[in-house]
Amino acid sequence: MLRTARECYVYAVISKQLTMLTINKLLSLAAAMFFTLSISAQASVRCYNKGNKMVDKEDYQKAINLFTKAIRFDRFFSEAYYNRGLAKSKLKDYPGAIADYTRAIELEPMHAAAYNNRGADKKELNDLEGAEKDYTKAIEIDTAYTKAYFNRGIVRFLTGEYSSSMTDFTKALRSAPDMKDAWFNRGVSKLKTGDHAGAIFDFSKAIELDPGMAKAYVNRGVAMIMSKKKEDGLKDLAKAKELGYNVTLIEIGQE
């Protein structure tokens, strides 16, 4: 049945009013949702900040509880997952930490630190292949990531990739020339490949940075003895003994 002009006018007015009511309701609903989300976000940040304070106090279990609350308020809070992973790692809950780092990476795929720390915890679980892959990914994201080069160098040393480990320690030293452990570990890698002169140089640099590094004296002493500098080597072993690190020639195969 055809509508009259009057009916069409009334219908249009009613439709417009209904549309306005719908829009107003939707706007009110959106405002309410935004308000609720805003409150949740604020609560999440408060819990997160409190968790960080507990980390500073080394109360890692309380920190974990607070980061968990932060996540309940905001399940997309990548840093809450990341920091909870850090706290779990401190308590040696490596599988739990790995799960949190993985979730942080899912939410923030370019999170280089999450890859690096997940690699460190995989290493603790003897997953050296997985650790190396994570360190490599961290380096791909941040090519100047000193700690990731250092960590990958350690894993490569443990898997017998001595040349690659030396390369990684060298890259770490380019940005952190005062990293005594990088000098020491590169020296050990050189010692493994028979580069005794290079090893002695690196151990000497480590000792220069930390005169109390007993293990550096021991390894330099070994390198000295292998280089036919027995007297100098024995002096280093004696120095190591003074520092509380005892080693004999029988232990190093040079009786």
User: Can you give the C-alpha Rg of the chain in angstroms?
Assistant: 30
Q: Residue 7's pLDDT band (boundaries 50, 70, 90)?
A: very low
Q: So what's the pLDDT on residue 22?
A: 59
Asked whether the predicted pLDDT for residue 176 surpasses 70, the reply is: yes
**Assigned CATH topology for domain 178-255:** 1.25.40
First-last CA distance in the chain: 114
Judge contact between 200 and 227, C-beta under 8 A. yes
For residue 253, the SS3 value is coil
Q: How do residues 64-87 score in pLDDT, each as one tens digit?
A: 999 999 999 999 999 999 999 999
Query: Domain locations in the chain?
Result: 178-255
Residue 10 zone, left/alpha/beta (φ > 0; ψ -120 to 50; rest):
alpha
The C-alpha atoms of residue 250 and residue 225 are separated, in whole angstroms, by: 12
Report pLDDT digits (tens) over 97-134: 999 999 999 999 999 999 999 999 999 999 999 999 99
Q: How many CB atoms lie within 10 A of CB 118?
A: 30
Cβ 191 vs Cβ 198: under 8 Å? no
The distance of Cα 207 from the centroid of its chain, to the nearest Å, equals: 27
| Angle of the 5-56 helix axis to the 78-90 helix axis, nearest 10 | 20
Continuous H helices in the chain: 5-56, 60-73, 78-90, 94-107, 112-124, 128-141, 146-158, 162-175, 180-192, 196-209, 214-226, 230-242
